[in-house]
Amino acid sequence: MIATQIDRAPTILIVEDNEDNRIVYSTMLRHFGFAVDEAENGAEGILKARTGLPDLILMDIAIPLVDGWEAVQRLKKDPATAGIPIVALTAHAMPADRERAIQVGCDGYLAKPCEPRAVVEEVKRILESKTV
Ligand code: MN
């Protein structure tokens, strides 16, 4: 079990267009006791965030229909979803991406390729900082 004060499995919404990545991250997160929901593009991600109110969102930036930057901005502007922590996943370890992630309101940032274990650690770090 993960260390958290929530008495149910926290739900992580993975917004990622690459199916292999979704499988890797979701398998790893379920292994560590999380519940997982998935979306393949930004529009679906926004919809699932609003309807499912996950405990945290993993947001790939390069995704179809609505890109990750725009999706984060829309979710952070909406009072219903503004409080959901979002971890951005960007393809390049560019300093400008890290700055932009902070500017648009992301709570965490991971540069791809990221180890599945690093994803789990970042998710746990943010959830624990929210519940303490
Ligand atoms: Mn992508």
Q: How far is the centre of ligand 1, averaged over its atoms, from the C-alpha of 29 (Å)?
A: 19
Checking if the pLDDT of 63 tops 90, the result is: yes
Q: What is the mean pLDDT of the chain?
A: 91
> What local confidence, expressed as pLDDT, does residue 121 receive?
95
Say whether 31 sits in a helix, a strand or coil: helix
Q: Which residue has the tokens 């006791």?
A: 33
CATH superfamily of 11-131: Response regulator (3.40.50.2300)
Q: How far is the centre of ligand 1, averaged over its atoms, from the C-alpha of 40 (Å)?
A: 9
56 contacts 13 by C-beta, under 8 angstroms: yes
**Cα gap 10→56, rounded to integer Å:** 8
Nearest to 6, CA basis, from 34, 37, 48: 34
Q: What is the pLDDT of residues 102-127, one digit of tens each?
A: 899 999 999 888 889 999 999 999 99
Q: How far is the centre of ligand 1, averaged over its atoms, from the C-alpha of 16 (Å)?
A: 6
What is the pLDDT confidence band of residue 85, given thresholds at 50, 70 and 90?
A: very high
> What local confidence, expressed as pLDDT, does residue 83 receive?
96
Q: Domain coordinates of the chain in residue numbers?
A: 11-131
> What local confidence, expressed as pLDDT, does residue 112 receive?
86
Q: How far is the centre of ligand 1, averaged over its atoms, from the C-alpha of 111 (Å)?
A: 12
What is the pLDDT confidence band of residue 73, given thresholds at 50, 70 and 90?
A: very high
pTM for the structure as a whole: 0.91
Q: How far is the centre of ligand 1, averaged over its atoms, from the C-alpha of 94 (Å)?
A: 16
Number of H helices, E strands in the chain: 5, 5
Q: How far is the centre of ligand 1, averaged over its atoms, from the C-alpha of 17 (Å)?
A: 5
